[in-house]
Amino acid sequence: MASSNMTQHVSQKSRGSEDEDRISNLPESIIGHILSCLPIKDAVATSVLSKRWVNLWTYITTVCIDDWAFPYHNPKKGINNFENFVSSVLLGLNNSTIQNFSLNVARKLDPSLVNAWISAILKRRVTNFTISSPKNVTIISSYYLFSCNSLVQLILNISCSVRVLASVHLPNLQNLELYGVKFLGESSGISKDMILSFPVLKKFKVKMLWLNVQSVTLLVPLLEVVNIYCESLEYDNCTIKICASCVREFSYDGYLSQYYILSDPSFAPNASAYITIHNCHSIPITENELGLRASMLIRQLDQVKYLKLEDIRVFGIAKEAFVDLPTLEMVHHLKLGYVIADMLLALLLKTPTLITLDIMVGHLGHV
């Protein structure tokens, strides 16, 4: 009899343990970490579970917002719902530190509202920050964007103009990607110099322009990867100096709308460079000037081991600039896209330690 009562007591205790809500008893920080793995709408929706869960979503450390989750059948209502939701989420956050923030918007939004969102999230010492949108935003405020020392990754994939202070220092930034961005000097006139200091930056990938500024200096001693794409025909005399000492991959693809200078270039061992220079007869620049800019870019690559010149037809119309190229003594592997015969011979003379030569089939032209 006693044994039966004890068995019943143990069974009830076990069943009680099974019914216990252990997740709700976890600390807010741990629950916030768990909820960070959910889509943001689902994380916020947990507030209806019980009184205990009303504010637990506010401790999330990852905020990923996509407007696709808000219906398009009523565009105006959908936009209003989306804007109200984002504003409520950012105002309701309790965590002083946000690990990841991303905003993916397909619809056009009020620039002042976007700036307010950016300011709100950057005040929370965000680590990884991403905004992506095909729509144009006139001006993005740069005060919080370039004074957030906690940033490790900054990605702007949005057509916008960003007014930048004359001096910027982000001590923890390791990855910077800017697509569709125009950087403006801090005043309406022409700023003389802009200095951007990113002491631990490893990757710099951009499709952008620098406007209203004479020179930009990037202090990036640990930079390893540089990818520059320029599709703009807005030519000016802005000079961009990249002060780096261990670049292992450099690529340039586009029009030479601005001067890029690798200040005191020192590439890492076995470094590679990929160059594609576009030519356009409608650009407001002489052929000699275009050739000079192309020559200035390529002559800085004398320390790379692998060099790929995808399209350098610009030298076909500016042969003097090509002749003035220095000897590329470190180049062991050369891959060519379109190249004319006399340029090929000149390149062979300028690469005395060349081991392999790769010419794409059908891309050898004639004078």
pTM: 0.85
pLDDT, average across residues 9-36? 70
Instruction: Read off the amino acid at residue 279.
Output: N
**Percent of the residues in the chain that have a pLDDT greater than 90, as a whole number:** 29
Instruction: Read off the amino acid at residue 133.
Output: S
In a domain, 230, yes or no: yes
Range with the largest mean pLDDT of 7-11, 71-75, 80-84, 155-159: 155-159
**Domain total in the chain:** 1
In a domain, 249, yes or no: yes
So what's the pLDDT on residue 162? 83
In a domain, 10, yes or no: no
In a domain, 317, yes or no: yes
In a domain, 344, yes or no: yes
In a domain, 37, yes or no: no
DSSP string, 39-105: -HHHHHHGGGS-GGGTTGGGG-SEEEEEGGGS-SSSHHHHHHHHHHHHHHHHHH---S--SEEEEE-
So what's the pLDDT on residue 282? 56
Compute the mean pLDDT over every residue in the chain, rounded to the nearest whole number. Answer: 81
The answer for residues whose C-beta is within 8 angstroms of residue 200's C-beta and 6 or more apart is: 171, 172, 173, 174, 222
In a domain, 124, yes or no: no
In a domain, 66, yes or no: no
Residue 348's domain spans which residues?
Answer: 226-367
